[in-house]
Every structure is written in C-alpha cells, then in structure tokens.
C-alpha cells in the first residue's frame, strides 16, 4: 500500500469563474498519512473535492493509485472514504442504518454492510448510541458517525477534512487515536486536512502546505525534522547581548528570541561547556538550556513567510 | 469480527455490481416512508378502489351473484376503455397525486439541508444515479397503485371475457401502461424539483401543490385575457386529460391539441431536470 504511488498531482489547476483556486500543483504524495495544511482559502478543500472527482481540473490532472481522478472516478470511488468538514448526515435514520446504507452504496453486500456498520460504530465509540437517530447526536458524536461512514467499507484512501473540528479535548484525543490506528494498520492511506498543526504533527508523516492555491511546502515531516539543525534554546540572566557576542566570536550563530532568551546553533568544534565558560567569564547565569528542533509550526510559518514557498 | 473486538480491519469480501448501487437508495427510502403509520394506512387505502373495480369486473361475469344481489348486468356500467380510463384517472390523479405530495418533497430536501450529498457522491454513484434512485422510490410506489393494478384488471377482464376481448382492446392495455408512465415521470420529476428547490419538506409540498393549483388558475386567467385555450397548457391535469384522451381513445373533454399537451409536458419535465441538475451537486461554489 505505502509502496504504491498513492496520490500524484500532475500540474493540477482548478478555476472557479475564471479565478484560479489551485495553480499547477505537482507533487507525489506517498506517505501513510499526509497532512494538508494552509490558511483559510488556500485551497485545501478544493484539492480534496478535485481528488474526489466533484469537479474536473481546469489544467493538469491527478492520479490516485494510478487511476485518473476524472476518467477513472467510477473505479476509484469504491476505494475512497470521505469525511466532510461540514455537518453531513441523513435525517431520520439511526446511526447503524446510516453507516450500513453508506457501506452498501460503496459496494458491500447487505449482510456485510450491516455487520461492518455495527463493528465500525463500536470501533469509533458509538456502540451504545448506534440505534439513536443522527439528529440527536452531539457535534462530537456526529464527527464520529462521519468517520464511521467513511471507513465502513475499508477504503484504500481516506480523506479527512478537519476531523477534529468542534471536538472537546477528550473527543479530539479519541479522534487522533483512531486516525493513528487506521494509519498504523497499513490498510488505508490518509489525507488529513486541518488548520490545527498539532493534529497533523501527531498523525502525519508527510505534509503538503498550500498557500494561495500553490504548494508552499511539501516534504516528509520526519526527514524534515532530522534535516533541520538542532539548536539550543538558552535562558540567561545578565547581559545576554554580551553573551551572544562572545558566543558568536567562537563561531556560534545566535538569535535573541526575547529578553533573556537566545536561540543558538553551535558549530562542530564548540561544546556546551564552552558556553558555560563564556557565561562564567562574563558573570552571566545560564538558567536553562534545551536542545530543540524545528517543529511543524516553524516549518509552516517559514513556508508562509517565504513569498514563493519552500518545496 | 465480533463487535467487541475494537480494531480497524480491511475488507476483502465480495462487492456488489456497480450498476446496481442506485437501488440501495429506494430500498432505504421505502423503509423510512413505511415507518410512518399514517402513510402505511394511506397506502392501504390506495388499494380500495382497485378492489372495488375487481369486484365490479367479477360481478359483470357472475350473473348468479348479481341475481343474489337483485341486480341486472345491464344496470352496471360496461367494462370498456372508459371504465379503465376512469379507474386510472382516480388512481393516478387522486391517490398517485397524494402519494407524490406525501413522499416526493421529502426525497431530496433533507439530503440538501443536511449536507448529505457529498457523502453519496463521493461513493460509486453518479448524480444521475442518485436522482434515478430517489425517483425510483416514488415511481415504484405510484406504479404499485396505478398501472400494476390497472394491468391486473385488464387481464382479469380479458380472462373472464375471453381472449378475443384482449385482442380487440390491446390499445387499452397499452394506454394503461403508457398513460400511467407519463404521469409517474412528470409528477416524480416535479416533486423532486420542488424538493430540491425548497430544502424543507413542508415548503416543497407547498411548492408542488401551489404549482399545480396556481398553474390551473394562471391558465384560466390567460384564457380569459387572450380569448384562447392555450392557457390550459399551464394546468397539469388538463395536459394529462389531453394525452390520455388520445391514448384511451375516449372523450375526456380535453381542451388542448395533443401536440400542445405533449410539448408542455416535455417542457415541465425538462425544467424539472434542469433544476435537479443545478441543485444536486456535491458542493456549492460561493460567488
């Protein structure tokens, strides 16, 4: 599953009323869980809608497991699970009937659909509520019901659009745990669109950041974290500017984050002990010293700052 | 896997045929419709008139029973094209119309109001498949109370009267199926279009009923103002009368020429399809 090309964007562009929403997106998404990030209006949902075949691309194309999303949509849709961002349910029916119906529409025979509907609702934690109608569900329960209908037929690609929207912390934790379990099962490739960097950081091994309909960053998150320089975050008491100047004199790169807080990158030949020596010579206290790496937030913010993004 | 075994697992069992998926929609919709006890009672009442018509045909061919009741066969209305046209008129316009009013407006509007279309359309079902599936919900229900009992009565009469009667009146059998078919397609499309426009069942019902009543009134106004009969083209019952008069070859006091009636029905169906094509989308682009 993970060895297959997954999703390939080949110069994908989408226009609405002449306005470009997505522009020449080219990327190969092969991670087990791909985080789709970007500010409001960046084109995340449009990209998902295009991959789902809801509207044709105005330029280029996209392939999912080797099938063109437009020409091969009939074959693809049986292997796709989709959890929309907005409220989506069928009125007047119980959760189990809803999930069963969605399973049958995806191609499961009646008996299998019923069996899997029960299992899936148990799996997402709605076992006790499965005979209740969906209108009576809380927002968190509706989110779980949406997840259940998306996975009932065991899709190969699972699109989750803002899955933790409106969830309280325990419900969010449960949702993240489920997403991670599905990812680790190796049965489905997940595309998770979210505003919340923490969700993506926790669940995804690959990220695609969109900005104004273009790719601002695309990469393997783990590799990116490893490639980023390890830096020291130092909290001092005393004249931090003099301390920084002395550290720079022995080859360190320093940046003042806030009064008393420095971000430092040490060259190979400089050890932490050298910093203590400088501090001792200048009567400066080092109150705290931590090794840090760039977080997804740093990666995201960098991608947003750079005018042409970072691919 | 047992329900208590909470693990995510794949599925490698059989898959149903792609072109049969739309049939899931009416099956689940019927389940919903018949959950309402009032509807189940109404649907049962829809079969009262076919039972009366069956008895009528039976009595025509059972002189003993007639004598017991103190009746004469000549006093009963004959079982001919007019009999079948009247039967179909009651079943289609009265019961079929009420059934369309009860079921049709609730077919699409809840899905639109609750944003369910992306759930359907992200699956192996097209917009056309979705519309056909929803339409089949109503079409099959109306069929069960219109042309199916109509055809049953036709064959019952043929069996009791002799197969020569069937040969002589084959046109009636054709008219039963085609006449009901035209009505079913028109009323199903109209009610689904009203449902797609309104997004709320009650409002969609008002649209549908109001459209039929208002069409008749508007037609009368046009007729009075321009001293013409073309205004009847706005009245759905009048259009059906005209089409049925041609099909059954019986006088039903139609006011329009068949060409105008067929054209008007085609326009109504075309407009309804246009509304559905515009409204049944997985997403809406906000301008």
Question: Is B273 a member of any domain?
Answer: yes
What's the pLDDT at A293?
65
Q: Which of B5, B32, B119 is the closest to A102 by Cβ? A: B119
State percent of chain A over pLDDT 90.
58
Q: Domain spanning A229-292 has what CATH number? A: 3.30.70
Q: Which of A89, A109, A153 is the closest to B116 by Cβ? A: A89
What's the pLDDT at A40?
85
Q: Say if A69 is an interface residue toward chain B (CB within 8 Å).
A: no
Per-residue DSSP letter, A238: S
CATH architecture of the domain covering A7-221: 3-Layer(aba) Sandwich (3.40)
What's the pLDDT at A306?
64
Q: Which residue has the tokens 């909470």?
A: B6
What's the pLDDT at A4?
53
**Mean pLDDT score across all residues of chain B:** 91
Q: Say if A23 is an interface residue toward chain B (CB within 8 Å).
A: no
Test the A interface: residue of B122, B125, B128, B200 with most A CBs within 10 Å:
B122
- What are A159's two structure tokens? 């699109």
Question: Is B73 a member of any domain?
Answer: no
What's the pLDDT at A259?
86
What's the pLDDT at B192?
95
Query: Is the pLDDT confidence value at A235 over 50?
Result: yes
Give the full edge-to-edge strand order of the sheet including A67-68: A19-29, A7-16, A59-64, A67-68
Question: Is B266 a member of any domain?
Answer: yes
ipTM score assigned to the predicted complex: 0.86
- The end-to-end CA distance of chain A, in Å, is 25
Q: What is the pLDDT of residues A137-169, one digit of tens each?
A: 999 999 999 999 999 999 999 999 999 988 999
Test the B interface: residue of A105, A144, A157, A193 with most B CBs within 10 Å:
A105
What's the pLDDT at A7?
93
Q: Say if A248 is an interface residue toward chain B (CB within 8 Å).
A: no
- A1 pLDDT band, cuts 50/70/90, is very low
Q: Say if A86 is an interface residue toward chain B (CB within 8 Å).
A: yes
Q: Name the residue of chain A whose CA is nearest to B287's CA.
A: A17
Q: What is the pLDDT of residues B237-252, one digit of tens each?
A: 899 999 999 999 988 7
Find which of A213-217, A276-280, B178-182, B246-250 is predicted with most confidence, using mean pLDDT.
Answer: B178-182
Q: What is the pLDDT of residues B40-82, one digit of tens each?
A: 999 999 999 999 999 999 999 988 888 888 887 777 888 999 9
What's the pLDDT at B131?
96
Instruction: Report the C-alpha gap between A147 and A11 in whole angstroms.
Output: 30
Instruction: Please compute the mean of the pLDDT values over residues B165-182 and round it to a whole number.
Output: 96
The reported pTM is 0.84
Q: What is the pLDDT of residues B85-100, one digit of tens each?
A: 999 999 999 999 999 9
Query: Is the pLDDT confidence value at B227 over 90?
Result: no
Domain residue ranges of chain A, discontinuous segments joined by +: 7-221, 229-292
Total domains in chain B come to 1
Instruction: Report the C-alpha gap between A89 and A101 in whole angstroms.
Output: 12
Instruction: Report the C-alpha gap between B124 and B73 in whole angstroms.
Output: 58
Query: Is the pLDDT confidence value at A106 over 60?
Result: yes
Q: Which of A54, A154, A159 is the closest to B121 by Cβ? A: A54
Question: Is B174 a member of any domain?
Answer: yes
Q: What is the pLDDT of residues B121-135, one digit of tens each?
A: 999 999 999 999 999
Instruction: Please compute the mean of the pLDDT values over residues B246-259 and round it to a whole number.
Output: 86
What number of helices (H) and strands (E) belong to chain B?
15, 0
Q: Name the residue of chain A whose CA is nearest to B7's CA.
A: A123
- What are B275's two structure tokens? 């509304």
Q: B56-68: string of b/e by CB count within 10 Å (b at 16+)?
A: bbeebeeeeebee
Query: Is the pLDDT confidence value at B4 over 70?
Result: no
Instruction: Report the C-alpha gap between A32 and B209 in whole angstroms.
Output: 53
Question: Is B120 a member of any domain?
Answer: yes
Q: Do B16 and A104 touch (CB under 8 A)?
A: yes
Query: Is the pLDDT confidence value at B274 over 90?
Result: yes
Q: Do B110 and A92 touch (CB under 8 A)?
A: yes
The alpha carbon of residue A96 is apart from the nearest alpha carbon of chain B, in Å, by 12
Instruction: Report the C-alpha gap between A279 and A118 in whole angstroms.
Output: 64
Question: Is B285 a member of any domain?
Answer: no
Q: A83: which residues sit within 8 A by CB, 6+ positions away?
A: A143, A146, A147, A149, A150, A158, A159, A160, A161, A163
Domain holding B247, by residue range, is: 21-68+78-279
């Amino acid at each position: 599953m993970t060895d297959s090309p997954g999703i390939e964007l080949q110069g994908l562009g989408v226009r609405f009323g002449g306005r470009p929403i997505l522009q020449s997106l080219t990327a190969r998404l092969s991670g087990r869980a791909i985080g789709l990030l970007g500010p409001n209006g960046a084109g995340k949902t449009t990209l998902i809608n295009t991959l789902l075949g809801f509207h044709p691309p105005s330029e280029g194309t996209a392939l999912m497991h080797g099938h063109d999303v437009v020409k091969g949509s009939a074959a693809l849709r049986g292997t796709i699970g989709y959890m929309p961002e907005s409220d989506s349910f069928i009125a007047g029916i119980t959760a189990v009937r809803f999930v069963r119906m969605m399973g049958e529409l995806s191609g499961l025979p009646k008996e299998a659909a019923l069996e899997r509907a029960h299992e899936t609702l148990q799996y997402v934690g709605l076992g006790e509520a499965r005979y209740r109608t969906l209108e009576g569900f809380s927002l968190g329960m509706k989110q779980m019901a949406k997840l259940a209908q998306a996975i009932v037929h065991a899709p190969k690609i699972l699109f989750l659009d803002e899955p933790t929207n409106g969830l309280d912390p325990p419900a969010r934790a449960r949702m993240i745990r489920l997403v991670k379990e599905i990812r680790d099962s190796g049965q489905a490739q997940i595309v998770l669109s979210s505003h919340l960097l923490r969700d993506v950081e926790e669940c995804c091994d690959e990220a695609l950041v969109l900005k104004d309909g273009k790719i601002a960053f695309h990469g393997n998150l783990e590799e990116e974290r490893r490639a980023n320089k390890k830096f020291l975050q130092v909290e001092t008491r005393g004249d931090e500017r003099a301390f920084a100047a002395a550290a720079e004199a022995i080859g360190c790169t320093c940046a003042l984050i806030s009064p008393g807080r420095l971000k430092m990158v040490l060259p190979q030949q400089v050890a932490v002990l050298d910093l203590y020596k400088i501090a001792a010579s200048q009567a400066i206290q080092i109150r705290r010293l931590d090794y840090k790496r760039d977080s997804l937030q740093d990666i995201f913010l960098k991608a947003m700052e750079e005018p042409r993004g970072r691919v | 896997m047992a329900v208590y075994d909470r693990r995510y697992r794949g599925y490698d069992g059989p898959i149903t045929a792609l072109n049969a998926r739309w049939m899931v929609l009416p099956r689940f919709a019927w389940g919903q419709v018949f959950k309402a006890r009032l509807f189940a009672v109404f649907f049962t009442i829809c079969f009262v008139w076919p039972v009366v018509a069956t008895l009528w045909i039976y009595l025509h061919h059972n002189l003993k029973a007639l004598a017991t009741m103190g009746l004469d066969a000549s006093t009963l209305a004959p079982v001919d094209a007019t009999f079948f046209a009247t039967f179909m008129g009651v079943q289609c316009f009265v019961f079929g119309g009420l059934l369309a009013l009860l079921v049709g407006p609730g077919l699409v509007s809840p899905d639109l109001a609750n944003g369910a279309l992306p759930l359907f359309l992200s699956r192996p079902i097209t917009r056309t498949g979705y519309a056909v599936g929803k339409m089949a919900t109503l079409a099959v229900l109306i069929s069960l109370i219109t042309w199916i009992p109509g055809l049953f009565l036709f064959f019952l009469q043929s069996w009791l009267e002799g197969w020569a009667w069937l040969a002589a009146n084959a046109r009636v059998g054709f008219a039963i199926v085609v006449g009901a078919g035209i009505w079913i397609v028109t009323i199903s499309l109209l009610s689904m279009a009203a449902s797609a426009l309104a997004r709320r069942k009650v409002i969609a019902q008002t649209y549908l009923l109001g459209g039929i009543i208002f069409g008749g009134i508007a037609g009368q106004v046009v007729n009075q103002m321009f001293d013409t009969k073309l205004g009847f083209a706005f009245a759905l019952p009048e259009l059906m009368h005209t089409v049925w008069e041609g099909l059954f070859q019986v006088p039903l006091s139609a006011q329009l020429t068949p060409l105008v009636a067929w054209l008007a029905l085609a326009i109504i169906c075309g407009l309804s399809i246009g509304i559905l094509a515009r409204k049944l989308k997985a997403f809406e682009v906000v301008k």
